[in-house]
Structure 1
Amino acid sequence: MTPIRIAFLGLTDAAVLVAAREKGFAQAEGVALDLMRDTSWATLRDRLVYGQVQAAHMLAPLAVAVTLGLSQQPCALSAPYKLNVNGNLIVMAPGFSAALEPGTSARLNDPLATAHDFATAIGLHHRKPIIGVVHRFSSHALVLRYFLASAGIDPDRDVVMRVLPPSLMVEAMRAGEIDGFTAGEPWGSAAIEAGLAEAVAASERLWQRGVEKVLTFRTDWMEANPDAVDALLRAMAKAALWCDDPANRAELAFLLAGPAYLDQPIALVERGLAGRIVARQGEPPVDLPDFLLFAREATPFPWQSQALWIYSQFVRWRMVKPSEASRAKAASVFRPDIYRRALADSDAPMPGASSKVEGALTSPLPIGAPRGAITLGPDRFFDGRKFDPDQIEAYLAGFERG
């Protein structure tokens, strides 16, 4: 057995790692999987960079940021496998949410209108709203900036973003330290269940199938241990299929809810897995069938165009100066070549291309692949923009005009 230690945070989107260990998928591939729970993304990042763990359940933008030298100690990281897409909520205190569209289903289904309501609510608020984000370099923070800016809100001037670990968001709401937050499940639902918040937006409606967590390695370790990496990715692929099967949802919720992982009520965890989101305490759930995906529609495939979308947002918000070297480094973090190598003899979906135009699909689309066909799901951005990774300057210029 090959021992591999992986750092993770207590989030529903750690499901594939948990299933790989608890359901024996890793063991069947000869991997002795040891999962180490952390509280903050900063600690998890440091464990990986300094070699305390061999891999990590990591924010995709954080993997890019570390490789670009933007987040503490620079280190080349590689992400050959996506653990999930979507799965986050933006929630705000009821007092703030009162200025938004009163129907929570309408809010979630029309995020562009909700962003404009949010701008109005800021004007009515007694101070700049303080919004918790899990890390500066997170999909949560980047998508929140995108959402706010679509309504003319300057996220660096009109709101305060405060970095907090996801598991501490609910208590920060209770203490009045923040007015809302964006985080992965189950923490948004936990705040709603406690009557502290209401759902304002869901990531599934902001960027359908938007990149979220990735399985990340130090590049030097990954390249020195190809057999271990391939075995782990095979286990991940099998575990992801198990996680996406509705027949396994109750058991998966039970596993995740335990004290070793989330330590939260089973029913709360199952909401996120099922995409049945209670947007306001006491209301019936809103169905978001693509709220959290693990396997279907080639979810695990690490499209380099998604790494480049992250890079484009770093440039947009002046976190990095644009350069061809930085662009190439960002793209290199996502490793479809390793994914293809590891899963070459499996039935895993295997796109022939490594990049695509993000936001171009409004309905499911079958595409050609080396083995048969794959159906890709809609990947629309809420404002209808498309991101062509070969036209990053033109994409960013569109925001400047608009």
Structure 2
Amino acid sequence: MTGERFRIGFLPLVDAALPILAHELGFAEREGLHIELVRDMTWATVRDRLLYDHTDAAHMIAPLAIATALGRDRPAVPLAVPFVLGLNGNAVTFSTSLSDAVGLGDTLGDPQAVGAALRTIAAARKAAGKPLRFGVVHRYSSHNYMLRYWLAGVGILPDDDVEIVVTSPPFAADALAAGEVDGICVGEPWNSIAVDRGVGHIALATAQIWRRGVEKVLAMRAATLDERRDVVEALVRALHAAAAHFVEPDTVEASAEILARPEYLDAPRDAVLRAITDRIRLAPGGEPMHYPDFMFQYREAANFPWRSQAAWLYSQMVRWDYMTFDPAQAATAGQVFRPDVYRSALAGSGAPLPGASSKLEGGLAEPIGAGSTQGRLTLGSDRFFDGRAFDPDDIESYLAELP
């Protein structure tokens, strides 16, 4: 397998860190791989490169992998996700004028309290014929689903009370500055850049909406996984090693330096460093505050592709595409995530390997020991802001109970 080439598409976001670091720091080379990184500016382009064989795998928003496998917006292509590149790491950022109107302070807002204030403003703007508009990075993104889940949960109906449009991550701060949107839900460093430019105020971290919510994944065509299984497993090991390195406190400065380079994020090093050390500057000129686990990596088997996470994303696709629940499609969505490949790649490594492939999402308020086939595994709180839990074996009942 020496020198096996693997091309990976990515967007300039902090959570593209693992393939970048696996390449730059020799973790891929140690596994006999040569990673080539292909930088793009939109998720649609990342997906299209993958589907048309310009890349072998992609740093991808998790719902887009599921939508692609289900044939949403285009003919279906089976995809496989053997590794999760990170949990959470996004934020909801308001324009400075909306921030003032809502009354945001110098700490992260409470989802319910911010939502109540926003509901009043949204109603007034709708009545005036100028509804609030929020930008998300893709129709099939966790950003879209997290934002919608929160808005609906506080009594604001997406697509009716407010508008939701698509803006590419690198242009999200520009959209705020131009007044094209009143808020954005985007990954780092683009919230921080909006704040540093004086055009935004961070209202919420998405970890406040769903703690430990799945975010970016390593996605590939299922045919690639079948044809190059050994290579894919080597890549999983390289990414896992990069994740272990990434969370070490004494590596963050060097990691930020690498990620900030023009060929990767092309972003201020300080904004990148704040993101990977869970420090968020909420308002222009403010002191960064520490929010633990803002972006979650490595610990608690964070990179394990739980099929229940895929099932939750499918439930939101049904909800917000106004579809009817389909058990066959739910099964297809769940099968995109490949915990079997993750386990096979890391067997014998000492990495904690969950014994189950699915779990109740949102059911943990406190850390708890979990069953594993290898290593000791503890799972931390994964609560949704509204206290609901999601049973992947009963999606229909869950959907029926949602506001």
Cross-structure match for 1:239: 242
Where 1:247 maps in the other structure, the secondary structure is helix
Aligned length: 398
2:81 alignment counterpart = 79
CA distance in 2, matches of 1:101, 1:246: 35
What is the CA deviation profile of residues 103-132 of structure 1, one whole-angstrom value per residue up to 9, with x for unaligned ones? 24151xx21221122112223446211211
Q: Distance in 1 between matches of 2:42 and 2:275?
A: 21
Amino acid at match of 1:136: R
Which of 378, 398, 402 is the equivalent residue of 2:401?
398
Alignment partner of 1:10: what SS?
coil
Are 1:40 and 2:42 an aligned pair? yes
Match of 2:282 in 1: 279
Structure 1 position 72, deviation (Å): 2.2
Does structure 2 conserve the Cα–Cα contact (< 8 Å) formed by 1:49 and 1:73? Answer: no
Instruction: Report the counterpart of residue 333 of structure 1 in structure 2.
Output: 336
Distance, in Å, in 2 between the alignment partners of 1:372 and 1:254 is 33
Task: Tell me the equivalent position of 1:190.
Answer: 193
The one-letter code sitting in structure 2 at the alignment partner of 1:116 is: A
* C-alpha distance after superposition, 1:328-365 (max 9, x if no partner): 10000000011111111212220000000000111111
Structure 1: runs of 5 or more not aligned: none
Paired amino acid for 2:82: P
Alpha-carbon contact 1:60-1:213 (below 8 Å) kept: yes
Q: What is the CA–CA distance in structure 2 between the aligned matches of 1:175 and 1:99, rounded to whole Å?
A: 18
**How big is the shift at 1:99?**
2.5
Deviation at 1:170, TM superposition (A): 1.3
- 8 Å contact 2:198–2:284 — kept in the other structure? yes
Q: Output aligned runs, 1:118-129, within 5 Å.
A: 118-125=118-125, 127-129=130-132
2:308 to 302, 305, 308: 305
* Cα separation, 2, equivalents of 1:124 and 1:324: 40
Amino acid of the residue matched to residue 71 of structure 2?
A: G
Hey, which bits of structure 1, 4+ residues long, moved more than 4 A?
Answer: none
Identity of aligned residues (%): 46
Deviation at 1:319, TM superposition (A): 4.7
Take 1:75 and 1:325, find their aligned partners in 2: how far apart are those partners?
Answer: 16
| 90, 95, 98: which one aligns with 2:100 | 98
Over the aligned positions, Cα root-mean-square deviation in angstroms equals 1.2
Structure 2 stretches lacking a partner, 5+ long = none
Task: Select the residue among 46, 49, 52 that pairs with 1:50.
Answer: 52
Matches within 5 A, 1:163-202: 163-202=166-205
TM-score normalised to the size of structure 2? 0.96
| Cα distance, 1:370–1:154 mapped onto 2, change above 3 Å | same
Give 1:100 shift: 1.9
**For residues 347 and 318 of structure 2, what CA distance do their matches in structure 1 show?**
35
Superposed CA deviations along residues 217-266 of structure 1, whole A, max 9, x for unmatched, are 10011111111101101101000101111111111111000101111111
**Which residue of structure 2 aligns with residue 7 of structure 1?**
9
Q: What CA distance in whole angstroms lies between the structure 1 residues aligned with 2:176 and 2:108?
A: 24
Q: Which residue in 2 is equivalent to 1:162?
A: 165
CA deviations on 1:27-68 (whole Å, 9 max, x unpaired) are 110001000000000000001111111000000000000001
Determine if contact 1:388/1:395 at 8 Å carries over to the other structure: yes
Distance of 1:359 and 1:123 partners within structure 2: 30
Q: Give the counterpart letter for 1:39 in structure 2.
A: M
In the alignment, does 2:27 pair up with 1:28?
no
